Chain A
């Protein structure tokens, strides 16, 4: 069994994106909402506090707590920000795998794996490209073996 973690590149990319959105929102609010000063400051504050909350507290917790243990026999996912959760999936119940590798994923690590199994699915998110390909290959080998 091999242990995988979400890539740190994804965390950095998410932080940069959130800062970018907040800067853009601040500019727009300053330009168009200047006559309503209270509303403007409330909205700007809201955006920056959300950026701080997610970028500094919640997302780092999520990225540090999330782990994926993958073998041909079973998949285990530990995740959660405030409440932690553990999910197990037997390899024998896996029906097929869908992999989503986005453009520029080597820089952003926006790669996802959807494991479709009997009675449900499990999503492994923010994996580095090489990890995503390795997990897909491992699970597909498991399905192939069952034939």
Chain B
């Protein structure tokens, strides 16, 4: 009896052990699979690594499968070469995805990038200037994010690290990078929707809109075929016919292109900056914006190279301005504006800046150019204004058939030239520099835009004096301030009396060795 019991117990134990090892094996497998995905990017990135031709081949292939009513055998026989090409493209994309790995630690992020993951990069959070995460409409259903990490080094046109992250990885990285403490004060600034509308309105560029619109049409026609392009031009022609106004066709066309381009740029800008919020927590800025593509940025306050308070002439009249910052990585994406306060009245901006950047006192302008030298600001736009009619006159003389068009283009071109002249008159009164203990204010006008740059004195890496022959005679000079960062930025402040500028800069420890 005893023996039987012992045998029975042994069998039970063996069964238990087998069950446990089986469970352990399943657990290990699950852990292995988890580990495989944990250190790799979101699988959606595989699609990102495929080329554009992948889609160009895939669409007709799918279309043919549908037209063959899913007769796989015939489909494979007829389209085998295209299928092989697709498998090769996809295989290459998969291998790229497979070899790119990363690990997020408490004080650094380590990545293996490049072909076969040969480049190992380790970036400490203390060196990071900005971490940006964006989630487009395509990535949202898959809970994936595009992540960009940037330091004050590396390429000026692309980020140091550019990966597709899962939501959990983004959260983990943001938590480590923010190192947020509960007792730290948090100040949040959220502009009104009306302000964002005005901001998008003012910062929309016709040129970029036209480029964007053209790119959209070209890309769409590449994928869908020429149908869309033809339909667009057909609709355009029909629209032209319905216009009963006796205007030359090209004038309507130019006007339409300008209006459509500007409208498109406006909508893109609005979608990008909708629900914009900026928060200051400890030494970090957290900026969130976007409606279709949602974006979040974490910026290190001490890594901000300078603050740029920008105004156009119209904004100056209405006493409104936009605050932008120069920080590596922020504003690097296509058509991204590095806004801190998108748009607001001057008084509101000052009070918000005091809360957002309490450690940056803005110095007042102390050194200004002499007003009797105002013509030094005005000569370039005056020459521009006069040259347009002269060029138009010469062209009409040589091309009499194009008379009407040349006159039209000349009138159109004269408007911005006169506007530039008005802007430059205003700039003669606003240009100047000012210093306090640690900071400098550089107020200048570049083309149509007025800049008020507030920069830490230590971040001015170079200063150069420049004199044209006329300035040499009048003992004036232009000052070029270079600021450090990922790229070199130059701020040119014009027409200072040389001697005064020399003494002022020396007194403020800029030129003192």
Total residue contacts A-B, CB cutoff 8 A: 56
Stretch at the interface among A14-22, A66-74, A92-100: A92-100
Q: Is the CB of A100 within 8 A of B153?
A: no
Inter-chain CA distance A136–B124, complex, in Å, is 13
Stretch at the interface among B113-121, B208-216, B285-293, B319-327: B113-121
- Chain A residue total in the interface (Cβ 8 A): 20
Question: What are the residues of chain B within 8 A of A99 when measuring CB–CB?
Answer: 119-121
Inter-chain CA distance A42–B160, complex, in Å, is 46
Within 8 A of A (CB), among B119-135: 119-124, 126-127
A31 within 8 A of B: no
Inter-chain CA distance A97–B153, complex, in Å, is 10
Contact check: which of A96, A97, A100, A136 meets B118 at CB < 8 Å?
A100
Contact check: which of B119, B120, B152, B484 meets A95 at CB < 8 Å?
B152
Question: What are the residues of chain B within 8 A of A140 when measuring CB–CB?
Answer: 122, 124
Q: Is the CB of B120 within 8 A of A144?
A: no
Inter-chain CA distance A140–B119, complex, in Å, is 16
Question: What are the residues of chain B within 8 A of A147 when measuring CB–CB?
Answer: 107, 124, 126
Q: Is the CB of A96 within 8 A of B127?
A: yes
Q: Is the CB of A100 within 8 A of B152?
A: no
Q: Is the CB of A98 within 8 A of B153?
A: no
Inter-chain CA distance A101–B107, complex, in Å, is 23
Q: Is the CB of A121 within 8 A of B153?
A: yes
Within 8 A of B (CB), among A116-147: 116-119, 121, 136, 140, 143-144, 146-147
Question: What are the residues of chain B within 8 A of A101 when measuring CB–CB?
Answer: 118, 120
Contact check: which of B114, B127, B151, B154 meets A100 at CB < 8 Å?
B114
Q: Is the CB of B153 within 8 A of A144?
A: no
Within 8 A of A (CB), among B69-85: none
Question: What are the residues of chain A within 8 A of B118 when measuring CB–CB?
Answer: 100-102
Contact check: which of A96, A103, A118, A144 meets B160 at CB < 8 Å?
A96
Question: What are the residues of chain B within 8 A of A118 when measuring CB–CB?
Answer: 152-153, 484
Residue of B nearest to A144 (CB): B124
Q: Is the CB of A143 within 8 A of B119?
A: no
Inter-chain CA distance A72–B484, complex, in Å, is 23
Interface bits B145-171 vs A (CB < 8 Å: 1, else 0): 000000111100000100000000000
Inter-chain CA distance A117–B154, complex, in Å, is 8
**What residues of chain A have their CB less than 8 Å away from a CB belonging to chain B?**
95-103, 116-119, 121, 136, 140, 143-144, 146-147
Can you list 8 residue pairs at the A/B interface with Cβ under 8 Å? A95-B127, A96-B121, A96-B124, A101-B120, A118-B152, A119-B153, A121-B153, A147-B124
Known A-B contacts: A99-B121, A100-B120, A119-B488. Give 19 more (CB < 8 A): A95-B151, A95-B152, A95-B154, A96-B124, A96-B153, A96-B160, A97-B121, A97-B122, A98-B120, A101-B118, A102-B118, A116-B151, A117-B153, A118-B152, A121-B154, A140-B122, A140-B124, A146-B126, A147-B107
